[in-house]
Chains A and B, each alone.
Chain A
Amino acid sequence: MIDWGWVGDHLGAMLGRTVQHLELAAIALAVGFAISFGLALIVTSYRWIYPLISGIAGILYTIPSLAVFAALVSITGLSIYTAEIPLIAYTLVILVRSIVAGFDSVPGDVLEAADGMGYDRRERFQRIVLPLSVPLIVAGLRLASVSSIGLVTITATLGASFGGLGFFIFEGYHREFPTEILVGAVPSIVLAILVDIAFVRIQRRLTPWAPEQAVRRDTWEGLPSGPRAG
């Protein structure tokens, strides 16, 4: 059923596409995180703006990716922007909510004690709020990374210079060649799982103070579910 000969001939291309796949997802995640963190910081000072930000990010999330690509091609052409803008936009709804939820998760008595000890606002944020937000922030990053890795495959619709492993899925589909579809699909799933495991490891490093089951338990409540495509 699987044409192992074809697989053997294309190992180099697979490696290249895997690297590209990770790059596209990493850029989306990094830029999305930076924007979301900035927005979450604004929310800490101006709470009333949160429903607005959360609402806009939620609307962005509902727009089908293919439609966004089509619309963006007329503005940004077949450039990396066309690929990244939707990927970034989709991370916002997850990351903004998880970062704000992280800040909100710091117990009131801890904040009160910090104030009572004489922390100023900035010190309190850096030394108390931020470290205690890590579990929820990492939970958001896990979800956003899995979602981004899935969505990168769709960027293959923009042409052969994008798509990561999605390139094989699309090309295999057009050529009606199942081996190539699997060569794209299986590694991209494995990639998502490996990245998720990596984040769990990172969180354990960053939060030696958290009880073990709290790290494993998915703290995704209140966040939108699952990666989506189409």
Chain B
Amino acid sequence: MTGMATERAPGATVEFDHVSKVYGPAPAKRRTASPGAVNDLSLAIPAGKICVLVGPSGCGKTTTLKMVNRLIEPTSGRILLGGIDAASRGVTELRRGIGYVIQQTGLFPHQTIVENVGTVPRLLGWPAARIKERSEELLGLVGLDAAKYAGRFPSQLSGGERQRVGVARALAADPPIMLMDEPFGAVDPIVRERLQDEFLRLQSDLAKTILFVTHDIDEAIKMGDLVAVFQQGGRVAQFGTPTELLASPASDFVARFVGADRGLKRLSLSRLRDIELRPAVTGRIGEPAAEARRRALADPLPYLLLVDGQDRPVGWLRDVEIEGDGVLTEAMAIPMSPLLSPEMTLKDALSMMLDADVHTGIVVDRAGRVTGLVTTDILGEFLREPIEVSAEP
């Protein structure tokens, strides 16, 4: 509690050591495991990674999550957090050191947003001024304008905004470990996609150790550095990187769960910045047209990309239609392809290109400058490449 608000606690390792949870009568008398049971689970999650627990309902993934902060006590086995047995620590002290985000948010309806975010720092006895400062900082971090939202109540927010507050609240005391139980499950797909992207961006700075429960395999592949696929009876069917899961499912169950479209799913694993883009042939507004036409005709793509003074795309010109005299003007351009960010997954890029009914997407950097083009051919090429599986995650 002596550190500055900007100082960051690194993630801690999370280790499950032969952990079981049995519900109800003695297991010998049961023919099948009861829902939520966990059977002899051993997993080691390295510090700073997102480990997604995914599986059908009743497979024990949420039970596993809740055993970490001892909302559920294991029947046997140990859970080590940063090497220390969770059972050896005081339960409230343990929980105050672990971020917790749940699907229904669990925001306190009678507290303002800024009070909600300050929950754990308040329990830890931080001075009021520091709690306020930290809460406002966190609202900014999750993309909510503190001046606008701080004084509101949860009922005055949209579902997506409430989830952001939930994440901010979990991060408030800068815990090394975060538990997230279907954190984006209750919002519509568009908002979910955005929250996922923003959270991944946040995590690339924060490097928390995160256990993330979902039943959605696509979300698991997108969010996880590591994915543990659970199957009925609380057993882990496979534990590995998303690439390993897609390339070599360990069993029929995993193959079925991952889905028949696992080749296509690889498109979610790579981002535009990871692949080689096609260089764009551009012409600047005001440039002599003859020069631009010559350049465009030299390139197989029958179009020239018109850009403004800052290299920001304005529209396409058909190369054969560029008049030989005069200069390039904005009026000549035909409508543009979708603009794509290098952070976008190939799947999202392809989907935007299909929506716009074009074969070429324009990749732009943060300032909106053209960095290259992506075509459906490039994506097809990517899918034909064999999957490389690295030995270590």
Contacts and interface: CB of A to CB of B under 8 A. Distances in A.
A209 interface: yes
26 contacts: A107-B106, A109-B102, A109-B104, A110-B108, A113-B108, A114-B106, A115-B95, A116-B69, A116-B71, A116-B98, A116-B106, A117-B119, A117-B169, A118-B93, A118-B123, A119-B92, A120-B92, A123-B123, A132-B108, A132-B110, A209-B109, A209-B110, A209-B111, A209-B154, A209-B155, A210-B109
Given A117-B95, A117-B119, 6 more contacts: A110-B106, A113-B105, A120-B92, A123-B123, A209-B112, A209-B155
Contacts of B154: 209
Contacts of A110: 106-109
B257 interface: no
Contacts of A109: 102-106
B100 interface: yes
Interface of B: 69, 71, 91-96, 98, 100, 102-112, 119-120, 123, 153-155, 169, 179
Interface of A: 107, 109-110, 112-120, 123, 128, 131-132, 207-211
A209 B153 contact: yes
**Interface SS, B side:** mixed
Contacts of A117: 95-96, 100, 119-120, 123, 169
A57 B106 CA distance: 34
A107 to B, nearest CB: 8
B181 to A, nearest CB: 9
A118 B104 CA distance: 18
Nearest to B153: A209
Contact of B108 (A123, A128, A210): A128
Contacts of A113: 100, 102, 105-108
A112 B102 contact: yes
A24 to B, nearest CB: 34
Contacts of A207: 110
A221 to B, nearest CB: 19
B109 A118 contact: no
Contacts of B111: 209
B237 to A, nearest CB: 27
Contacts of A132: 108-110
A118 B99 CA distance: 10
A132 B102 CA distance: 20
A113 to B, nearest CB: 3
Contacts of B179: 116
Nearest to B106: A113
A210 B111 CA distance: 10
B123 A131 contact: no
Contacts of A123: 123
A128 B123 CA distance: 13
Contacts of A114: 106, 108
Given A209-B109, A209-B155, A119 B123 contact: yes
Residue among A107, A113, A116, A131 facing the most chain B CB atoms (10 A cut-off): A116
A123 B125 CA distance: 13
B389 to A, nearest CB: 36
A210 B154 CA distance: 10
A200 to B, nearest CB: 18
B146 to A, nearest CB: 19
B179 to A, nearest CB: 8
Contact of B120 (A118, A208, A209, A211): A118
Contacts of A128: 108
A209 B153 CA distance: 6
A91 B71 CA distance: 38
Nearest to A116: B100
A203 to B, nearest CB: 12
Nearest to A131: B110
Contacts of B109: 107, 110, 132, 209-210
B113 to A, nearest CB: 11
A118 to B, nearest CB: 4
Residue among B91, B102, B109, B153 facing the most chain A CB atoms (10 A cut-off): B109
A116 B153 CA distance: 21
A74 B98 CA distance: 64
Contacts of B105: 109, 113
A150 to B, nearest CB: 32
A178 to B, nearest CB: 50
Among all A-B residue pairs, the 9 with the closest Cβ atoms: A113-B106, A116-B100, A118-B95, A118-B96, A109-B104, A209-B153, A109-B106, A118-B92, A131-B110
Contact of B106 (A112, A209, A211): A112
B84 to A, nearest CB: 17
A207 B6 CA distance: 35
Contact of A211 (B102, B107, B155): B155
B197 to A, nearest CB: 25
A191 to B, nearest CB: 31
B123 A116 contact: no
Nearest to B166: A113
B71 A112 contact: yes
Contacts of B91: 118
Contacts of A131: 110
Contacts of B102: 109, 112-113, 116
Contacts of B169: 117
B134 to A, nearest CB: 15
